Amino acid sequence: METCPPRHFLTLLDLTSAQAHDLIARAIELKQRQHRGQPYLPLQQRVLGMIFEKSSTRTRVSFETGMAQLGGHAIFLAPRDTQLGRGEPIPDSARVLSRMVDAIMLRTFEHETLELFAKHSQVPVINGLTDRFHPCQLLADIQTYIEHRGSIQGRTVTYIGDGNNMCHSYINAAHLFDFQLNIACPPGFEPSPLVLKTDDTRCRLFTEPRAAAQHADLIVTDVWASMGQEDEAAARRAAFADFCVSSAIMAEAADDALFMHCLPAHRGEEVTAEVIDGPQSVVWDEAENRLHAQKALLDYLLANA
């Protein structure tokens, strides 16, 4: 019997622009509903498997809480406690797990591992972060911007720091949500040219963070050493020394510019305490919105699956 391939969420580009806008609107609605204490239980009897090959606070808790609030259940799977950690092949793990659960979230290193897993899964696979992309975070970031300032279309976002998974997902978001993206990175730490090709009309590369920040509506940064790059931390601290988001950088942006960071943050490295704990920072709303945006995502992927 022919079955439809599942709807995966491996990068933001698995959504059309219209679907992405609908999903954010739904996230805002589900947040209001949750805050009013009105239950919404479309995923009763549904189970999300969550495989974490890297640490997590926000992603784990937001998916687990989200499934509970939607009436379903989530299972946390750590490689060291499962056969994945003992070398069971990815395709076999995907085949087996996807016969039991209704969706699978995977946080791993190489993006190709996620793609391989998805290829052999009968159920939707969600990217909970790879070395290349972090699309769930961008759903929360865009929701947060819209809640505070309205539409992001035509706005200028400045990303300062490493051309990493967050930067790559911002490039995809610029394309889907139609905003200008200024990216300031030290030489050698630029985003992948392949990812940049997604939208070379909306993205501009800078080597000077102050120049990149001019007139920005949103300033974003991320850690200088991502998970898996711990050995490079000292060298990266030296390379990124001029890329700390400080009040001087914020002063280059629009007066009502917001500051975001996916967290965890290192005060005194990629951002000063004054900025992240200051009035322009919306990082706590951004973190909370992981829950609401992912509930909208789970509902979209699973409700009619």
- Residue 50, C-beta contacts closer than 8 angstroms, at least 6 positions apart: 60, 63, 64, 74, 75, 76, 77, 104, 105, 107, 128
Residue number with the smallest Cβ distance to ligand CP? 59
Residue choice 226, 272, 289, 294 for contact with ligand NVA (CB under 6 A): 226
Distance CA 298, CA 292 (A): 10
Residue choice 223, 271, 291, 293 for contact with ligand NVA (CB under 6 A): 223
What are residue 218's DSSP bridge partners?
Answer: 157, 258
Q: Is 11 in the site for ligand NVA (CB under 6 A)?
A: no
Q: For ligand NVA, which is the closer residue by CB, 117 or 159?
A: 159
What are residue 245's DSSP bridge partners?
Answer: 271
Distance CA 181, CA 171 (A): 7
Considering the candidates 222, 236, 244, 292, report the single residue annotated as catalytic: 222
Closest CA to 295 of 48, 13, 14: 48
Residue number with the smallest Cβ distance to ligand NVA? 226
Binding span for ligand NVA by CB under 6 A among 76-84, 87-95, 161-169, 174-182: 161-169
**Rg, the chain, Cα only:** 19
In eight-state DSSP terms, residue 296 is H
Distance CA 259, CA 280 (A): 6
137 is catalytic: yes
Q: For ligand CP, which is the closer residue by CB, 116 or 263?
A: 263
Helix axes 58-69 and 283-302, enclosed angle (nearest 10): 50
With CB cut-offs between 5 and 8 Å by kind, which of ligand CP, ligand NVA, none does residue 156 bind? none
290 is catalytic: yes
Interacting residues with ligand NVA between 97 and 156 (CB under 6 A) = 129, 134
Q: For ligand NVA, which is the closer residue by CB, 70 or 170?
A: 170
203 is catalytic: no
Q: For ligand CP, which is the closer residue by CB, 2 or 230?
A: 230
Q: For ligand NVA, which is the closer residue by CB, 81 or 230?
A: 230
Q: What are phi and psi of 160, to 5 degrees?
A: -120, 120
What are residue 127's DSSP bridge partners?
Answer: 106
Residues in the site for ligand CP, rule: CB under 6 A? 56-59, 129, 137, 262-263
236 is catalytic: no
Residue choice 98, 127, 144, 165 for contact with ligand NVA (CB under 6 A): 165
Considering the candidates 8, 132, 261, 290, report the single residue annotated as catalytic: 290
95 is catalytic: no
In eight-state DSSP terms, residue 242 is G
Closest CA to 67 of 286, 295, 288, 287: 295
Considering the candidates 14, 262, 294, 299, report the single residue annotated as catalytic: 262
With CB cut-offs between 5 and 8 Å by kind, which of ligand NVA, ligand CP, none does residue 151 bind? none
Q: Can you list the positions of beta strands (E) in the chain?
A: 47-52, 73-77, 103-107, 125-127, 156-160, 180-184, 203-206, 218-221, 258-261
Residue choice 13, 227, 239, 254 for contact with ligand NVA (CB under 6 A): 227
Q: For ligand CP, which is the closer residue by CB, 59 or 158?
A: 59
Residue choice 164, 169, 221, 294 for contact with ligand NVA (CB under 6 A): 164
> β-strand 73-77 against 180-184: which pairing, if any?
unpaired
Residues near ligand NVA (CB under 6 A) are 129, 134, 164-166, 222-223, 226-227, 262
Return the active site residues.
107, 134, 137, 222, 262, 290
